Structure 1
Amino acid sequence: MGGLEARRRRRTWIVVATGLVVVLVGATAVVLTVKPWTEEFRHGGLTIAAPPAPVKAMPQVVPAPASAPAATRNGLAAALGPVVGNPDLGAFAASVTDGDSGKVLWTQDADKPMIPSSTGKILTMAAGLLVLPADHRLTTKVVAGSAPGEIVLVAAGDPTLTAQPDGNGYYPGAPKLSDLVAQIKATGQQVDSISVDTSVYAGTNFAPGWDRSDIAGGSIAPLDPIMIDGGRVQPLVEYSPRVDDPALDAGRQLATALGVDPAHVKLGTAPAGATQLAAVQSAPLRDRMLQAMVHSDNVEAEAIGREVAMATGQEASFAGAVKATATALQAAGFDLTGLSMMDSSGLSTDDHIPPRLLNRILTVAALPDNPAAQANSSVDPAATGPTGSPLTPMLDFLPIAGATGSLADRYTVRNHDAAGWVRAKTGTLSVSSALVGYVLDRDGRVLTFALMSNDRPPEVSRPALDAVADALRNCGCS
């Protein structure tokens, strides 16, 4: 990947811990006035003290200083030595890079293929940023069927449609089933039966290395090209059990809303040239990527992988999505040696990625300039962010330690020095834990990292990984 020597200094924005607290507390008001009441008994009366002067919330989100000294290999080795030997890390592999120069500063088995768990989503989102516009949307349609009274719900690969009465489903900005219903009724179309056309996807809807118990556990649904709230039985609950037949479930919910017997719903194919009766669009790709990354949503990530496949002429299947992702990354100059993926979410225990590759993607996102990636991307350079790389938006897709998404409940007790400073994609399976992201060290220098642990349960390995990230934050390693 070209462009290791930066042509201009990056000014990556980092959320500092104190600023994070101020922003969260003062989000709805710029000026806060506190009015304590004090009691003084004077001749049996009550005196109320005057209120104190107003306190103004001062945001503390500032760019990383351009003059910050770079960490050294020896300095990092000294800082990480006490924590990387922890046996709780199990089989441990890692890579740490200076985010300004792209210089690799510390590694341990960085070329070793590791089970990535959900950090595998980084590959999918990177491919999406390389080949699709940030405002790309999917359109779900309803058309007239070939039989009298039949309509066909034509899936487009969007699992976010909601049937919530108020239209506010699990996914922000998702299309509404009620809008489809209103449009269908406005046509005056008689509806006696519904077919659901899932032909946009190919192959099986369950990947190698997935566990069917994860359907009831709420981690995944069979990957149909249309779902209601990601196939959740309880639409607003993140880890709700999922339905076994998401596409048919969507058809049945549409039937119920139209007053049609749900027993009259089946799979089928839309006739060529059918009259369109209704259509709704997904949220923009950038919003769906954010949701998939911050909350580690497997269904959303798999759907985005198929979206990448369709955009690049590949079959919209697990294999096609994996191939499309690899092709996009390779065209952008990434070394894919050691990569082997069965899915787009990292849920498969058969997935393997070397930490070198994951760290390199984050480094390219953070570098001040990356002409090679730009040249191989269809994304408008004017919309790629301040560093000029199409991958730069990924920096904002990462959870914040101790504050958001899958990192909200970490770094709150142990390793709390890193809270608000580390931004990283998490990965958690019974056999794998990982962190891939970036942090501002004590000298004010951005470090990108990929930390991967296999062969330990997450309740053991995650605190050990957090300790490594905490050491990076506390490193004054120049």
Structure 2
Amino acid sequence: MSRPGVRTASLVALVIVLAAGAGTAGFFETRALRSHRDPAPSASAAPTAWPAALSAATAAPAPVVTAGAGQVPAAAAVARALAAPVRDPALGSRLLAQVIDVDSGTSLFADRPGTPAAPASTAKLLTAAAVLAAYPGTHRFTTSVATGAGGALVLVGGGDPTLTAAAAGKAADYPGAARISDLAAQLHGVPVTRIVVDDSLFAGPSVSPDWAAEDVPSSYASAITAVLADGGRARPGDAIRSAAPDLAAGHALAAALGHADLPVTRGAAPSGARTLATVRSAPLRELVEQMLQQSDNVIAEVLARQVAVARHLPASFTGAAAAVRAELAGLGVQVGAGLRDGSGLAAADRVSPAALAAVLRLAATGPAGPRALLAGLPVAAWSGTLADRYLGGRAVAAGAGAVRAKTGTLTGVSSLAGVVHTRDGRLLAFALIADRVAPGAAATDAADAALDAIAAALARCGCS
């Protein structure tokens, strides 16, 4: 079974202006297919160059206008526009699809839209919407150091997935990350005999029983703990993430204190412990954008647990999935009982295209919190996991700069869910899951290209 790796904001009133270009636009997703594994680039890769596919006529990604510009497309016209691309043999023997008009909610194209299937990384849309509903977009997660018994210092995890061990003045894997070096600076002169890492904010196993054995450690997943640094890497920039990222973060603190040989153990801060140092993460909306742009499984799993924390449920894989379902149900989106994790890495995850499309419509028209989801989506031929797609060929050229979507890939599964404007300016949400694709990198690439052609056909469509 293959797993996704790392390939390589703001909504004001009715318009979202993409902010990714200045910060996280350069993140790519490189599929780490077990049958064809490419080395994953560092998360600190340089920003994406301006793609040739974006001509002077599309000098920047199109803004997302959520008002009802133009007429509601005719379902029959949409069906005609999609008739050829949805029959592409590269999609395998089954394509599940839902296309809706965002403003009215009208279904414009559907092929078994209520059928649950493996969503792959499009499941991150659910986590993004839920965590943005549970916390303000400005919320920051706190990591602290407290006093421990016998001269110990306790590194208390607050569930910040991007805390960095990068030295002061050095670039971090994630822009805006809180720094362990800043914790160490606040502890100058404090005597210490050992480091204790406190993961008690989270519960349950740190590796999902629904993940494959080779998923942790890998380039795309680590153990999920309340204390971790650099997306679960033992050191900034590591290609492979850690099976014990909490202990790695503890060792990083010891090194930053100038005592790299200090023992590091797991434990809990004693009752009444005094807080000696704190740092705070980048704002939540930036963490969500980093998750979506990079398709970062570790960020996704940590943020799903933060939804569980907010809802006073166990911050475990099971509790996080239940919390995401409950948070979205409260906003009128029924996800179903098939969600097993927060990232889509579990092959056992089951989510319908209808649920994914409903979440996208919620982000465009619902409460203010989840709206930041749209600003964080990769843009075709421009940013994130879509930066190297929609770059050539008439079949997909219309989607460049116009399609904003979350990608998803597992062995035998290619998915794409996002928003796109029609030629008449109408905003549509779409969710596509091809879950019977032939195995192998070539088949996966062909399926992805076929999904891109469907979204591009929507961009070309007048459909009135």
Q: TM-score range by the shorter chain?
A: 0.7 to 0.9
Task: Return 5+ residue gaps in structure 2 as ranges.
Answer: 1-12, 19-24, 26-47, 51-55
Question: Is residue 216–residue 241 contact of structure 1 (8 Å, CA) maintained in 2?
Answer: yes
CA contact (8 A) 2:165 2:235 kept: no
- Per-residue deviation, 1:87: 2.1
Q: Which residue of 2 aligns with 1:49?
A: none
Q: Does 1:423 align with 2:415?
A: no
What per-residue deviation string (whole Å, max 9, x for no partner) do you get for residues 244-274 of structure 1? Answer: 2100011111112223254611111111111
Q: Which moved more, 1:287-296 or 1:154-163?
A: 154-163
1:341 matches 2:318: no
Residue type matched to 2:341 in 1?
D
Q: Which residue of the partner structure matches residue 446 of structure 2? A: 460
Q: Contact 1:13 / 1:61 at 8 angstroms: preserved in 2?
A: no
Relative distance call for 1:198 and 1:293 in structure 2 (3 A) is same
Identify the residue that residue 371 of structure 2 maps to in structure 1.
392
1:405 matched residue in structure 2:
384
- For residues 131 and 220 of structure 2, what CA distance do their matches in structure 1 show? 22
The residue that corresponds to 1:93 in the other structure is 96
CA contact (8 A) 2:294 2:384 kept: yes
The structure that has the greater radius of gyration is 1
For residue 167 of structure 1, report the CA deviation from its aligned partner.
4.4
The amino acid across from 2:211 in the alignment is W
Is this contact kept in 2: 1:97–1:448, CA < 8 A? Answer: yes
* Separation (CA, whole Å) in 2 of partners of 1:312 and 1:435: 29
User: Quick check: 163-172 or 265-274, which moved more?
Assistant: 163-172
Q: Report deviation, 1:176.
A: 0.8
Deviation digits for residues 92-144 of structure 1, max 9, x if unmatched? 10000112211111100101111001110111111112221111111111111
Equivalents in 2 of 1:25, 1:300: separation in Å? 25
For residues 110-189 of structure 1, the aligned pairs below 5 Å read 110-147=113-150, 149-165=151-167, 166-185=169-188, 188-189=189-190
- In structure 1, runs of 5+ residues without a counterpart are 1-9, 27-54, 375-383, 385-389
Secondary structure (helix, strand or coil) at the match of 2:216 reads: helix
In structure 2, relative to structure 1, the CA distance for the partners of 1:410 and 1:60 (3 Å cut) is closer
- When the two chains are superposed, the root-mean-square deviation of aligned CA atoms in Å is 2.3
Deviation at 1:66, TM superposition (A): 5.3
CA distance in 2, matches of 1:266, 1:424: 42
Structure 1 CA distance, aligned partners of 2:293 and 2:61? 22
Contact 1:253 1:262 in 2 (8 A): no
Letter of the 2:107 partner, please give it. Answer: V
> How do 1:190-201 residues align onto structure 2 when only pairs under 5 Å count?
190-201=191-202
Structure-2 residue corresponding to 1:320? 319
Question: Aligned equivalents of 2:220 and 2:301: distance in 1?
Answer: 12
Q: Is the 8 A contact 1:136 1:285 kept in 2?
A: yes
Q: For residues 58 and 402 of structure 1, what CA distance do their matches in structure 2 show?
A: 12
Partner AA of 2:97 in structure 1: A
Q: Distance in 2 between matches of 1:425 and 1:452?
A: 12
How far off is 1:433 after superposition?
Answer: 1.2
The aligned counterpart of 1:287 is: 286
Kindly indicate whether the alpha-carbon contact (under 8 Å) linking 2:137 and 2:372 is maintained by their aligned counterparts in 1: no
Aligned to 2:31: none
State the distance in 2 between where 1:62 and 1:289 align.
Answer: 19
Q: Does 1:71 align with 2:73?
A: yes
Corresponding residue of 1:476: 462
- Deviation string 1:214-242 (CA, Å, 9 cap, x unpaired) is 335311001011112112256236xx111
Q: Of residues 353, 356, 364 in structure 1, which corresponds to 2:354? A: 356
Q: Would the aligned equivalents of 2:234 and 2:249 in 1 still touch at CA under 8 Å?
A: no
Q: Which residue of 1 aligns with 2:44?
A: none
Q: 1:179 to 1:14 in 2, by over 3 A?
A: closer
Percent of paired sites with the same residue: 40
CA distance in 1, matches of 2:389, 2:76: 29
CA distance in 1 between partners of 2:414 and 2:223 (Å): 24
Q: Does 1:436 align with 2:417?
A: yes
Q: Give the whole-Å Cα distance in 2 for the aligned partners of 1:250 and 1:402.
A: 36
> What's 1:36 paired with?
none
Q: State the SS of the aligned residue for 1:357.
A: helix
- TM-score, normalised to structure 2, is 0.83
In 2: Cα distance, 1:326 partner to 1:63 partner: 26
List per-residue Cα deviations over 1:19-47 (Å, max 9, x = no partner): x9xxx989xxxxxxxxxxxxxxxxxxxxx
State the SS of the aligned residue for 2:146: strand
Q: TM-score, normalised by structure 1?
A: 0.81
Q: Specify the SS of the correspondent of 2:104.
A: coil
411 and 283 in structure 1: CA distance in 2 versus 1, 3 angstrom threshold: same
Does the CA-based 8 Å contact 2:141-2:159 persist in structure 1? yes
Displacement of 1:171 in angstroms is 1.2
Tell me how far apart the structure 2 counterparts of residues 333 and 465 of structure 1 sit (CA, whole Å).
28
1:251 aligns with 2:253: no
Three-state SS of the structure 1 residue aligned to 2:128 is: helix
Distance verdict in 2 for CA 1:264–1:67, change over 3 Å: closer
Q: 1:182 to 1:263 in 2, by over 3 A?
A: closer
User: What is the alpha-carbon distance in structure 2 between the residues aligned to residue 142 and residue 252 of structure 1?
Assistant: 14
Distance 2:436 2:462 in 1: 31
Residue 169 of structure 1 deviates from its aligned partner by 0.9
- Distance between the aligned counterparts of 2:61 and 2:387, measured in 1? 20
Aligned AA (1:159): P
Name the SS for the 1:217 alignment partner.
Answer: coil
Structure 1 counterpart of 2:297, one-letter code: N
Give the Cα separation in 2 of the matches to 1:472 and 1:142: 52
Shift of the 447–462 alpha-carbon distance from structure 1 to 2, 3 Å rule, reads same
SS of residue in 2 equivalent to 1:469: helix
